Amino acid sequence: MTDVTAGNTLPLPAGLPNAGAPLPGVITAGQPSASQLEQLAQGGVEIVADLRAASEDRGFDEPAAAARLGLEYHSIPIVGASIGAREFAAVRSLLRARGTRPILVHCKSANRVGAALIPWLVLDQHRSRDEALAIARQVGLRSDDMGRAAIAYLDTCS
């Protein structure tokens, strides 16, 4: 199994929920606090991909904090288990477009993050489906339904 912290070259703030680094420059996590977001920016993160719906409480104004810190902020809301082709494509597009710029991809617990990464890991990073699913589980995927949705999306891309 892949160690999702092994490729990390960026410092992870203490207490960042379910923090992982499935590949260099990609940090996955649950919801960061305002101070953790600031630490991530100071540590080199340049982009934030927030997979939470606008209605979910973050404890602070994350888009404003990201702007203040000079971070590129992207909202790709995944509501409950409703992840589908649009969300998978948006996450893949952002991860490809980032080049080598460090990114934080987060939701509340990293469950949605794990599912959203599966297509990118398989289609763009050339990992096997089994390895991508294992990495997704390591970074926080707990929902079998979301994992199945990611595999179904992969089937439409073949």
- Secondary structure of 125-158 as H, E, C letters: CCCCHHHHHHHHHHHCCCCHHHHHHHHHHHHHHC
Structure confidence at residue 82 (pLDDT): 82
pLDDT band at 6 (very low <50, low <70, confident <90, very high): very low
Structure confidence at residue 14 (pLDDT): 93
123, with CB counted inside 10 A (0-12, 13-18, 19+), is middle
10 Å Cβ neighbour count for 33? Answer: 17
In tens, the pLDDT along 21-78 reads 988 999 999 999 999 999 999 999 999 999 999 999 999 999 999 999 999 999 999 9
Query: Above 60 in pLDDT, residue 151?
Result: yes
10 Å Cβ neighbour count for 43? Answer: 14
pLDDT band at 11 (very low <50, low <70, confident <90, very high): confident
Structure confidence at residue 96 (pLDDT): 96
In tens, the pLDDT along 69-93 reads 999 999 999 987 789 999 999 999 9
End-to-end CA distance of the chain, in Å?
Answer: 25
Structure confidence at residue 9 (pLDDT): 66
In tens, the pLDDT along 76-135 reads 999 877 899 999 999 999 999 999 999 999 999 999 999 999 999 999 999 999 999 999
Domains of the chain: 20-157 (3.90.190.10)
